[in-house]
């Protein structure tokens, strides 16, 4: 009796640990943080139509992308390696390069991350070679001033772009080249497949190599200077929800802007506290507040959401997702009712996770009505027509991508 109880507790603990582990990191615990490595979405853009406007997508991103190795530093903003971030579906990356001995190395302020620009580009190129239907957005920022160097940032950037045998062929193949100096519109997904769109946070304006970070084509929420854990974070959360609401409205109005909202914050708070809350739970972090806000149906299409320590629930709420059912295919985002309106012949499926039923509740801005064609391949797809579904971040109609294997946690490269 005693034995079986302990076996039960062992099994139970093992399961609980498996579940809990992923959401805990360095003593912090947060359902919407840390475990984006459980999400496998290396091809979520691939089956979307090429005419799709990039501005219409909800794209998960990371802030200070390369900081996973500097564990415990006040400059650490990530716990997952770049390759893992790509696998999990993240497509916006914040790359901060600083000249050191005439080489571009990745820094967060004065903290060297142990990574180089060459390494970042190589990982991007390999990913795009393996997944040519995807696109990558790279904010490339010149971080602080050069160290012990005789060339300037632009010269170094162009050296890697044109002359370095390790990176020049990849740059020629994968950097998106704007049709004019200072592009006047944000390209479509088709223009960007297999490409890196540089959000140019260096050099001259108009931008030569992408879209200028300060361009009017971008609408950026980045209220990062937070004085304290309390009122400061409450205000930050207001900035986030107002940014996401503007994004939703701007995108629905097809205003052509790319919205970028930062969930990240620092200065008077540690990035990890801002993201995941305090260790003792006295303050809830931005990831959990935003994740719950989105999943309870607020907002709509989000544009790019830039996150510290993202968890799969949060990354998924910005991508098409299998709504907590990991054994099902990954679904496309891109607020699907619009998709259906624009592409009426497309197959649209209402996918609802176990125990969810289509709602036909009262009208609200998050409820829409749409008809769809049938596809009964998978048992947990709701195939009845003209169902009203909540298309907030929770439930929706999704275009199907090919089945993906059941996710298993990915091993973490150091
Ligand atoms: C600075 O650059 C010079 C010339 O390349 C080199 O000899 C020297 O070691 C560098 N100093 C540091 C601190 O890296
Ligand atoms: C893409 O955006 C442009 C400019 O905002 C708009 O004219 C066009 O209709 C959009 N295309 C689709 C497929 O929504
Ligand atoms: C919880 O942690 C925060 C910051 O880490 C601290 O300021 C606060 O006093 C702690 N609260 C309790 C009840 O221990
Ligand atoms: C996920 O969906 C599959 C296929 O319909 C089903 O067998 C499984 O029980 C579901 N799992 C969860 C956790 O809902
Ligand atoms: C779904 O809606 C369309 C358009 O309103 C209508 O023609 C069709 O008959 C409806 N189908 C069902 C099953 O109600």
Q: 327: Cβ below 6 Å to ligand 4?
A: yes
Q: 408: Cβ below 6 Å to ligand 4?
A: no
322 touches 329 (CB < 8 A): yes
> Cα(82) to centroid of ligand 1, in Å?
29
For residue 4, the SS3 value is helix
The reported pLDDT for the residue numbered 69 is 92
> Cα(350) to centroid of ligand 5, in Å?
15
pLDDT tens string 334-354:
223 333 333 333 233 333 332
The DSSP line for 132-183 is TT--EEEEEEE-S--BS-SS-HHHHHHIIIII-TTTHHHHHHHB---SSSS-
Q: How far apart are the first and last CA of the chain?
A: 43
Rounded Cα distance, 138 and 123, in Å:
12
Tokens 């009712």 — which residue? 337
- Residue with the smallest CA separation from ligand 4 atom 13 is 325
For residue 55, the SS3 value is helix
Q: Output the CA torsion sign for 295, 299, 303, 309.
A: negative
- Give 96's DSSP letter: E
Q: 4: Cβ below 6 Å to ligand 1?
A: no
For the chain, 414 residues long, the average pLDDT of each consecutive 10-residue run is 35 34 80 86 82 87 96 94 92 97 96 96 98 97 96 97 98 96 94 98 92 95 90 94 91 92 93 96 94 79 91 74 26 29 31 33 26 27 32 30 30 42
Nearest ligand 3 atom to alpha carbon 281: 1
The reported pLDDT for the residue numbered 372 is 29
Rounded Cα distance, 304 and 261, in Å:
6
Rounded Cα distance, 252 and 236, in Å:
24
Name the fold adopted by 22-317. Answer: TIM Barrel (3.20.20)
Burial (CB < 10 A; 0-12, 13-18, 19+), residue 264, is buried
Instruction: Please give the structure tokens belonging to residue 52.
Output: 């799709």
Q: 150: Cβ below 6 Å to ligand 1?
A: no
The reported pLDDT for the residue numbered 207 is 93
Rounded Cα distance, 217 and 69, in Å:
33
Instruction: Please give the structure tokens belonging to residue 142.
Output: 């010149």
Residues with CB under 6 A from ligand 3: 278, 280, 282
Closest of 317, 178, 304, 160 to residue 244, by C-alpha: 304
376 touches 383 (CB < 8 A): yes
Instruction: Please give the structure tokens belonging to residue 220.
Output: 């950026």
- Residue with the smallest CA separation from ligand 4 atom 3 is 327
Quick one: residue 198, left, alpha or beta (phi over 0 = left, psi -120 to 50 = alpha)?
A: beta
Q: Which ligand is nearest to the CA of 148?
A: 1
The DSSP line for 29-52 is E-TTBS-GGG---TTTTTTS-TT-
Q: What residue segments make up the domains of the chain, in order of their start?
A: 22-317, 321-403
Q: Which ligand is nearest to the CA of 230?
A: 3
Rounded Cα distance, 279 and 26, in Å:
9
78 touches 111 (CB < 8 A): no
The reported pLDDT for the residue numbered 25 is 92
The reported pLDDT for the residue numbered 319 is 59
Q: Which ligand is nearest to the CA of 270?
A: 3
Q: Output the CA torsion sign for 205, 210, 211, 214.
A: negative
The reported pLDDT for the residue numbered 296 is 75
Instruction: Please give the structure tokens belonging to residue 311.
Output: 């968890």
The reported pLDDT for the residue numbered 414 is 40
CA distances for 126 relative to 89, 131, 165, 167, 216, angstroms = 15, 9, 15, 11, 32
For 1-107, where are the alpha helices, taking DSSP H only?
A: 2-21, 82-87
Instruction: Please give the structure tokens belonging to residue 165.
Output: 């045998």
The reported pLDDT for the residue numbered 39 is 77
Rounded Cα distance, 37 and 87, in Å:
8
Count of positions (residues) in the chain: 414
104 touches 171 (CB < 8 A): no
Burial (CB < 10 A; 0-12, 13-18, 19+), residue 189, is buried
Q: What is the CA radius of gyration of the chain?
A: 21
The helices-and-strands tally (H runs, E runs) of the chain is: 11, 19
pTM over 0.75: no
The reported pLDDT for the residue numbered 51 is 85
- Residue with the smallest CA separation from ligand 1 atom 11 is 148
């Amino acid at each position: 009796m005693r034995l079986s109880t302990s076996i039960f507790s062992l099994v139970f603990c093992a399961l609980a640990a498996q579940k809990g582990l992923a959401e805990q990191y360095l003593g912090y615990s947060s359902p919407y943080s840390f475990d984006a490595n459980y999400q496998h979405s290396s091809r979520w853009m691939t089956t979307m139509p090429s005419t799709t406007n990039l501005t219409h997508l909800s794209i998960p991103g990371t802030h200070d992308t390369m900081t996973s190795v500097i564990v415990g530093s006040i400059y650490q903003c990530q716990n997952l390696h770049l390759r893992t971030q790509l696998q999990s579906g993240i497509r916006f990356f914040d790359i901060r390069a600083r000249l050191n001995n005439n080489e571009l190395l990745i820094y967060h302020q004065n903290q060297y991350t142990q990574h180089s620009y060459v390494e970042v580009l190589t990982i991007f190129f390999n990913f795009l070679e393996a997944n040519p239907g995807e696109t990558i957005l790279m904010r490339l920022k010149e971080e602080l001033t050069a160290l012990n160097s005789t060339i300037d940032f632009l010269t170094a950037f162009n050296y890697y772009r044109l002359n370095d045998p390790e990176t020049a062929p990849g740059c020629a193949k994968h950097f998106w080249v704007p049709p004019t100096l200072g592009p006047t519109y944000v390209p479509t997904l088709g223009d960007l497949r297999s490409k890196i769109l540089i959000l140019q946070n260096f050099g001259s304006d108009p931008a030569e190599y992408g879209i200028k970070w300060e361009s009017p084509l971008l609408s950026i929420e980045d209220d990062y200077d937070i004085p304290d854990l309390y009122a400061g974070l409450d205000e930050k959360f207001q900035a986030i929800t107002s940014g996401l609401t503007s994004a939703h409205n701007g995108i629905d109005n097809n205003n052509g802007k790319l919205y970028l909202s930062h969930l990240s914050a620092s200065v008077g708070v540690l990035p990890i506290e801002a993201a995941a809350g305090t260790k003792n739970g006295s303050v809830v972090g931005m990831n959990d507040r935003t994740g719950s806000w989105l999943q309870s149906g607020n907002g709509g299409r989000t544009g790019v959401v830039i996150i510290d320590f993202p968890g799969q629930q949060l990354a998924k709420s910005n991508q098409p997702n299998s709504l907590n059912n990991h054994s099902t295919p990954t679904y496309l985002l891109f607020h699907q009712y619009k998709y259906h309106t624009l592409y009426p012949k497309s197959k649209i499926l209402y996918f609802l996770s176990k125990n969810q039923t289509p709602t036909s509740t009262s009208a609200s801005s998050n409820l829409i009505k749409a008809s769809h064609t049938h596809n009964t391949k998978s048992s947990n797809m709701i195939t009845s027509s003209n169902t009203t579904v909540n298309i907030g971040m929770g439930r929706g109609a999704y275009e199907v991508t090919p089945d993906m294997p059941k996710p298993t946690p990915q091993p973490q490269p150091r």
